[in-house]
Amino acid sequence: MSAQPIGIFTAAGSSSAVRRNGSVSVNRRLPDRARDPVAWQMLSDIGLRRVLAPGAVLSTDSERGGVVVLVEDGAVKVVGVAENGNMAVLAVRSAGSLIGELAFVTPERHLTSVIGLLPATVVTVPAARLSAALQTRPTNALLLLNSVTARVHEADRRRVEYASYSVPERICRVLVDLADQFRFNGGLGRTVIPLVQQDLAGLAGASREATAKVLRRLREAGAIRTQRSRIVILRTDLIVTGSYQ
């Protein structure tokens, strides 16, 4: 019995996959670092640089007022903690991304952690040190404000997607975006996404059971292969168009 196709039109996250006249193109958004290299360098100079191994945890609530995190290379996931203690992946960020911009806007606690996915170099800037630096160079605040604005737009788009697309569609949209983010990780025409099924479920706003069902259909179609703590994308085109049995 053939599976029903899953079609998608845009992907969630830092890029979007768009179907035009039967073909698919990926629109990549400009990284935070590229928006304002001077401000990025200023933040990098006043922060503390460290290397995050895959699985290593960096708490952004470790200092009063939080911290701003610059991802210089590699990739990380941002994990939020609910009041009941449950955790969910909020985003995947790669080289050139800012994390924790709200520490600059509000002193409220933001219970999130940054966890390494690929070996990553990050720079942490305590909110108090950031505020002091911006008093001498206030124009550099534009980088943070632009990043906050981009995150608000991203959150709005995700809310629209939750109301407009089915769970299988949302899962596939996230997979396409992740395939673009990690397109250089794997080689031989394959893309290795270093996430577990629960992470994917959090990004798509889906249950683990629904996510497992969609991944099983994609495996059977030859679009993906799942391994321990990773999803291997074999045929992005099948995921985008839904052209599989």
* pLDDT tens digit sequence for 176-194: 999 988 987 666 568 999 9
- pLDDT tens per residue, range 90-144: 999 999 999 987 766 665 666 688 999 999 999 999 888 888 888 888 877 777 7
CATH superfamily of 32-158: Jelly Rolls (2.60.120.10)
* CA distance linking residue 183 with residue 177, whole number of Å: 10
Neighbours of 201 (CB within 10 A): 24
Q: What percent of the chain has pLDDT over 90?
A: 38
Whether 32-158 and 15-26+165-241 are alike in CATH topology: the answer is no
Q: What's 15-26+165-241's CATH class?
A: mainly alpha
pTM: 0.79
Region 143-156: what's the mean pLDDT?
79
What are the structural domain ranges in the chain? Answer: 15-26+165-241, 32-158
Residue 39: count of CB within 10 angstroms of its CB: 21
